Amino acid sequence: MSRIVLVFLAAILSDALSYGQVNVEPNTALLNEGDRTELLCRYGRAINYCRIEIPGEQKVLNLSPVWSKTPGFTYYGAGLNAGQCGVSIEHVKASNNGQVKCSLGVEGEELSGTIDLVVALRPKQPMIELITKPNRDGYFSENTEFHARCIVRDGRPPANISWYIDNMPANKNTNQLQILSTPTHDNVELSTSVQEIKWHLAPEDSNRKLVCRSHHQTDRESVPAQEAAYIIMVRYAPVSQPEASVYGLYLEHTAIVNITIRASPPPTIEWNVAGVVIPQGRTEGRYSAYDPQYLGNDLYNVTLAIGGLTLEDTTKVYQLRASNEIGIADYSVRISSSSKPPSSSLDVAAIVGIVVAIAVLLLIVLLVLFARATGRWCFGGATLNTDLGPDSEAQIHPETHEELDGQDNADEHIDTTPQSEEVTPPVTDKLEAQKKADLKKSAAATAAAVIAAGNGQQHGADAPKPPNTSV
């Protein structure tokens, strides 16, 4: 219903303009050069003649299904009697761009309609224009605003623009796409698309590739979107980072203490080990500071070699100061002879071990309670003397644990396995002691034996490694 009303309204409107209702199909035809197209004008009643004017063509076409006078342009439609006046264009030319006008001879009058024929023209290669300029060497300073525009000239229809940084859509401040008309000498209207982008530069932006890509009607798989690129270069002070750790160093060997730092321009470095200053490229005693080694992308491998690593060396903090023309940053590195970071040694396996240990203890508590409730006589033979054995063991246990930890510090990273046989995680130790105090009242030698068996099992099955606390 509403559709009919709309058509009716449209009819009234077009009546007001042309005093006749010529429907056109399509209203706008967007084509590439060389495309074939059909354009149609329709009137409700039979028409006497059908004339069509196409921009860029010398002749006005007088078309009918019965004749075809101009090669490449033929009548299109269901016939003049059906009120249809259309043209089929074999190959659209760039010069055909503009308004196609159809004139329909009807009952002593002439009615007309127009169709916009847009023949796409590929725009020029995009261009990136810097609005804020870099310094003479082509560098921007950190925190300055990078402001540029992308210009895609002379497209028809206008090209769209999208931005990328290192092939990822640039999630930055862009303004609305501006489209400017650029009339050419032969009155062919073309459009220039312009878009600006801006953001504050961070060290990470250095060496990134900013790309402006134009998207156009004429893009094809064989004719991909055109783009312009600009490599952004930023100068900044060495970038600070949290304390670094180097693991797996061997005592008595030459140790390499390394840290990767980011800076532009290249940094000059200086190590400081407990007051001993080792400038870049120099050796002080057992310490040798290498020149920063460029890894690409503004990253530098900074290395200190320590000859014959001692245990004391592993307790020191290695301070590094890196500086360039822009500023200074201080870093610190800790080293360890253990092969893994401490945090990762208390991993899933250890947690599972603790959980299993708790479960075993709970089971024993339940067993003992059950035994006490049902058959007290079972424990009748126990004396206080037999209790001392397991109880004293529980007191000694935590101490041996600490001792072993201390030993672990002293050891090279290789042998941690033998210790794990003896050491139980502290949590189970406590529970065990509590449990045993509980048991004292019943003074059950047999129960103690069960605990011992349970512990043995637990060590054998899970052997949770102690947290590796070496320096």
Ligand X SMILES: *[C@@H]1O[C@H](CO)[C@@H](O)[C@H](O)[C@H]1NC(C)=O
> Where on the chain is the footprint of ligand X (CB under 6 A)?
160, 215-217, 244, 246, 256, 258-260, 290, 293, 295, 301, 303
DSSP 3-state of 94: helix
Minimum Å gap between C-beta 127 and ligand X is 19
Residue among 341 and 456 whose Cβ is closer to ligand X: 341
Minimum Å gap between C-beta 325 and ligand X is 24
Residue among 179 and 356 whose Cβ is closer to ligand X: 179
Amino acid at position 327, single letter: G
Residue among 99 and 293 whose Cβ is closer to ligand X: 293
- From residue 435, give the alpha-carbon distance in Å to each of 291, 363, 391, 445: 60, 12, 10, 14
Amino acid at position 466, single letter: P
Pure H helices in 284-425 = 348-374, 384-410, 417-420
Contacts of 190 (CB under 8 A, 6+ apart): 121, 123, 153, 154, 155, 156, 181, 182, 183, 184
Minimum Å gap between C-beta 308 and ligand X is 17
Question: Cβ(147)–Cβ(134) under 8 Å?
Answer: no
Amino acid at position 450, single letter: V
Residue among 84 and 303 whose Cβ is closer to ligand X: 303
Residue among 74 and 303 whose Cβ is closer to ligand X: 303
Nearest to 428 by CA among 462, 382, 468, 389: 462
HSE on the CB side for 186, CA within 13 Å? 7
CB neighbourhood size of 232 (10 A):
19
Minimum Å gap between C-beta 303 and ligand X is 4
Report which DSSP code applies to 156.
B
Minimum Å gap between C-beta 33 and ligand X is 16
Minimum Å gap between C-beta 305 and ligand X is 7
Minimum Å gap between C-beta 184 and ligand X is 21
Could you give phi then psi for residue 297, rounded to 5 degrees?
55, 40
Tokens of 10: 């449209």
Cross-strand pairs, 73: 89
Tokens of 397: 């246990």
Minimum Å gap between C-beta 387 and ligand X is 53
Say how far apart CA 359 and CA 367 lie, in whole Å. 12
Residue among 75 and 271 whose Cβ is closer to ligand X: 271
Question: Cβ(214)–Cβ(127) under 8 Å?
Answer: no
Residue among 52 and 289 whose Cβ is closer to ligand X: 289
Minimum Å gap between C-beta 267 and ligand X is 14
CB neighbourhood size of 14 (10 A):
17
Residue among 215 and 459 whose Cβ is closer to ligand X: 215
Tokens of 442: 């019943």
Residue among 146 and 290 whose Cβ is closer to ligand X: 290
